[in-house]
Amino acid sequence: MMEEIGVQIEENFKDLIDEEWARKLTHAILKAERTALPYEVSIVLTDSEAVQKLNRDYRGVDEPTDVLSFCMALQQENEPSFIPSPDGIAHLGEVIISYPQAARQANEQKHSVKQELALLLIHGILHLLGYDHEHPEEEARMRVREKELLEKVY
């Protein structure tokens, strides 16, 4: 049984975020979602400019955002969500979080940056696991699960 959780924190934020906290939280979220081992996931905490560039290049939206998820699973209609890779490891993908945007949102919501980072990490991982919010019913389902996970793992 193998679990690979890569955490990359931009140098400017290394003193503000505990890498081990991000790894443990990621593990707890994936465990709560009953994600089967072995799996691999990457978490990146960076600046708003880098996230905006990714948002522009990959989503065609030239605006800053708080979190982006890049799912590695190939999803086709009428196919399972996760197609097994030849090495047997579920390569879930990558969650990229803008630390400055998280800090702004935490201030607006009047809670800690750590809580905001936890919420964004939960949101990003749920996207990797197939949750979405394109339609109102999907968004409601995702928001409920985010709240449940935040209460359970944070």
Instruction: Quick: pLDDT tens for 38-85.
Output: 999 999 999 999 999 999 999 999 999 999 999 986 454 444 555 556
**Residues with Cβ within 8 Å of residue 2, at least 6 apart in sequence:** 37, 38, 39, 89
pTM, to two decimals: 0.90
Residue 117 token pair: 């980072």
Name the residue range of residue 62's domain. 3-153
Rounded distance between C-alpha atoms, residue 111 and residue 105, angstroms: 9
**pLDDT of 73:** 67
Rounded distance between C-alpha atoms, residue 7 and residue 89, angstroms: 18
**pLDDT of 77:** 45
Q: What percent of the chain has a predicted confidence (pLDDT) above 70?
A: 91
Q: How many CB atoms lie within 10 A of CB 20?
A: 9
Mean pLDDT of all residues in the chain?
A: 91
Rounded distance between C-alpha atoms, residue 122 and residue 113, angstroms: 14
Tally of domains in the chain: 1
Give the CATH number for residue 43. 3.40.390.30
